[in-house]
């Protein structure tokens, strides 16, 4: 076939009808089958687009004007939505976001796994889809006169958005704490870290809060080994805000995008704050992984529990268990739970959380889940139920094999990536398991992310 060139040129203006949204949240419109990806355009809309980038098989455009706008288009409530890259969907009604996520899961299962008839339920959304994040990591910069500023980076850059006073998907208290630290640090003359020159002090202000307990942990990340004016900072913060339970200094002296450095020191108060999901209490340390939307995490885990249908005689494996969040939920009903996770610190936290809750029937192991599960299989372990919650890249093939070799009655697959979920469900279907239902849960409103719980049964 002769090589075809793109039907558009850079800087050309074209009129497009938008059909779809990409996984990044860009509208998709086509010219003679050639797709153009256009930020902020919604399916069903017609508009003028300036072509800004032309590649062989696709291009990018900028929305200039709308001829027909979608009934689902809403005014984004955040002042900096069009500058910031954090949210992608504030210009879409929440109901439409939920439907779009359900469709996305359904279509992905169809396309990748050929699962046409599996029931994909309507996405479970939040009553109030704002202010849900319990952890903020805010970069610190400075104005020309040196005054400290905080704000997220502009899209595809490391320039801080000036005048960003609030982030409306953050817990309100987190917002207030970031501003309090900024104000006090500025008054004390603490300088901002400058990425370009690798000079200055304060890099990030991080705040974590316990949804149930309202405890707050403040983490100050500096380039320098010393935290200047440390005692004054502590005195002002703790004197004014009694819900602060912990102040932590983290040192990151590397020229890097990674936020936290290796060295952490408790400057004041406790090494942990606590939060509760359902009846289980979790200790959260500065570095430990903890779900950022605790309300929806409860919804997600309850669904996983419902699908798992565990009885008091059951042995359960929780692969990719992190700090044991799902394992400890499962342990309330099971005879014995085995969790496996690759990060040693997370496993330490999981054990600590089990003790904290008086749970004695959950054991945790460090290792690659695929290796440990293969070994368990060889040792003859035959769990009744397996729960997996892998990272975005999905399950390792060796793990899928170990899982089906163990022949559990039921598998519950929690996933944050519909594409790898679909790939893995196909393999499990071909290895004797039937996908019964998939439930999308909206853990990250206003963004393109979607989480799913899937239920599989062994075929008889
Ligand atoms: N179930 C937990 C964590 C899920 S996140 C919760 O809900 O909180 C996925 C976890 O998989 C992370 O903790 C990550 O460290 C872990 N992980 C990644 N690759 C792994 C592997 N090969 N083996 C075991 N764990 C792995």
CATH, range 135-277: 2.40.50.1070
According to the model, what pLDDT value does residue 163 have? Answer: 81
- Output the CA 339–ligand 1 centroid distance in Å: 10
Whether residue 322 has its Cβ less than 6 Å from ligand 1: yes
Phi-psi region of 220 (alpha: psi -120 to 50; beta: other; left: phi over 0): beta
The per-residue pLDDT for 4 is: 66
Q: Is 416 in the pocket of ligand 1 (CB under 6 A)?
A: no
289 ligand 1 Cβ < 6 A? yes
Indicate the top mutation candidate among 341, 345, 347, 367 to test ligand 1's pocket, ranked by most ligand atoms within 8 A of CB: 341
CA 53 – CA 416 distance, rounded (Å):
30
State residue 1's pLDDT score: 47
Query: Which of 107, 100, 130, 5 lies closest to 56, judged by CA?
Result: 5
Please report, for residues 373, 374, 405, the alpha-carbon distance to residue 379 in angstroms, rounded to integers and kept in the order given.
Answer: 10, 9, 12
Q: Give alpha helix (H) positions in 309-359.
A: 325-331, 344-356
Share of the chain above pLDDT 70, in %: 99
Residue nearest to atom 11 of ligand 1 (CA): 320
Domain 13-68, CATH? 2.40.50.140
Q: Which of 84, 321, 416, 452 is catalytic?
A: 416
Taking the centre of ligand 1 as the mean of its atom positions, its distance from the CA of residue 177, in whole angstroms, is 30
Whether 430 and 277 have beta carbons less than 8 Å apart is answered as: no
Domain with CATH 2.40.50.140 in the chain: 13-68
Q: Nearest 5°: phi and psi at 447?
A: -120, 170
Give the residues of the chain that fall short of pLDDT 70: 1-4
Instruction: Find the 268 Cα to ligand 1 centroid distance in Å.
Output: 31
416 part of the active site: yes
Residues annotated within the binding site are: 291, 320, 341, 389
SS3 letters across 57-74:
CCEEEEEEEEEECCCCEC
Greatest Cα pair distance in the chain: 74
Number of residues in the chain: 460
Please write the tens of the pLDDT for every residue from 405-446. 999 999 999 999 999 999 999 999 999 999 999 999 999 999
Distance 417 CA to ligand 1 centre (A): 14
Q: How far is the CA of 32 from the centre of ligand 1 (A)?
A: 43
Sorted by sequence, the CB contacts under 8 Å of residue 182 that are 6+ apart come out as: 140, 148, 149, 150, 205
Give dist(CA 46, CA 68) in Å, integer. Answer: 5
CATH 2.40.50.1070, the chain: domain bounds: 135-277
CATH 3.40.50.150 in the chain, residue ranges: 99-127+293-458
Q: What share of the chain is helix, strand, coil (3-state, %, to 5)?
A: 25, 30, 45
Q: Is 330 in the pocket of ligand 1 (CB under 6 A)?
A: no
Residue 398 Cβ < 6 Å to ligand 1: no
Report the alpha-carbon distance of residue 243 to residue 238 in Å, rounded.
Answer: 8
Q: In the prediction, which pLDDT does 3 show?
A: 54
Binding site for S-adenosyl-L-methionine, by residue number, is 291, 320, 341, 389
Q: Work out the angle between the directed axes of helices 94-113 and 418-429 (0-180°, nearest 10).
A: 40
Q: Please write the tens of the pLDDT for every residue from 2-61.
A: 456 889 999 999 999 999 999 889 999 999 999 999 999 999 999 999 999 999 999 999
- 384: nearest Cα among 437, 312, 322, 323: 312
Residue 152 to residue 159: CA distance in whole angstroms: 8
Q: Domain 99-127+293-458 has what CATH class?
A: alpha beta
């Amino acid at each position: 076939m002769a090589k075809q060139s793109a039907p558009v040129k850079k800087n050309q203006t074209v009129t497009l009808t938008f059909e779809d949204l990409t996984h990044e949240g860009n509208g998709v419109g086509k010219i003679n089958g050639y797709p153009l990806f256009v930020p902020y355009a919604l399916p069903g809309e017609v508009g003028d687009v300036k072509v800004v980038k032309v590649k062989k098989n696709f291009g990018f455009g900028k929305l200039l004007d709308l001829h027909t706008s979608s009934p689902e288009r809403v005014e984004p409530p955040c002042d900096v939505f069009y500058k910031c890259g954090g949210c992608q969907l504030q210009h879409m009604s929440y109901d439409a976001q939920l439907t779009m996520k359900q469709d996305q899961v359904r279509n992905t299962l169809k396309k990748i796994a050929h699962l046409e008839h599996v029931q994909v339920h309507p996405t479970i959304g939040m009553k109030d889809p704002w202010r849900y994040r319990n952890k903020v990591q805010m970069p610190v910069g400075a104005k020309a006169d040196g005054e400290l500023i905080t704000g997220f980076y502009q899209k595809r850059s490391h320039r801080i958005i000036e005048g960003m006073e609030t982030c409306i998907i953050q817990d309100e208290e987190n917002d207030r704490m970031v501003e309090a630290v900024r104000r006090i640090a500025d008054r004390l003359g603490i300088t901002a870290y400058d990425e370009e020159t690798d000079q200055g002090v304060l890099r990030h202000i991080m705040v974590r809060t316990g949804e149930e307990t309202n405890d707050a942990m403040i983490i100050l990340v500096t380039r320098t080994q010393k935290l200047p004016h440390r005692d004054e900072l502590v005195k002002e913060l703790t004197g004014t805000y009694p819900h602060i339970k912990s102040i932590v200094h983290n040192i990151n002296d590397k020229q890097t995008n990674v936020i936290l450095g290796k060295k952490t020191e408790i400057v004041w108060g406790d090494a942990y704050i606590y939060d509760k999901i359902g009846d289980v209490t979790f200790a959260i340390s500065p570095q430990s992984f903890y779900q950022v939307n605790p309300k929806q995490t409860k919804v997600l885990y309850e669904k996983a529990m419902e699908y798992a249908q565990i009885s008091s005689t059951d042995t359960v494996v929780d692969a990719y268990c992190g700090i044991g969040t799902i394992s400890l939920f499962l342990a309330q009903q099971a005879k014995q739970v085995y969790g496996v996770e690759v990060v040693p610190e997370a496993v330490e936290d999981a054990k600590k959380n089990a003790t904290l809750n008086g749970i004695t029937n959950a054991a945790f192991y460090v290792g690659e889940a695929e290796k440990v599960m293969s070994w368990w299989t060889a040792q003859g372990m035959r769990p009744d139920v397996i729960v997996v919650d892998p990272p975005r890249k999905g399950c390792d093939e060796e793990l899928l094999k170990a899982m089906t070799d163990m022949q559990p009655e039921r598998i519950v697959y929690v996933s944050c990536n519909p594409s790898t979920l679909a790939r893995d469900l196909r393999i499990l279907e071909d290895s004797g398991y039937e996908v019964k239902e998939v439930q999308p849960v909206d853990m990250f409103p206003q963004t393109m992310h979607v989480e799913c719980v899937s239920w599989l049964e062994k075929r008889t």
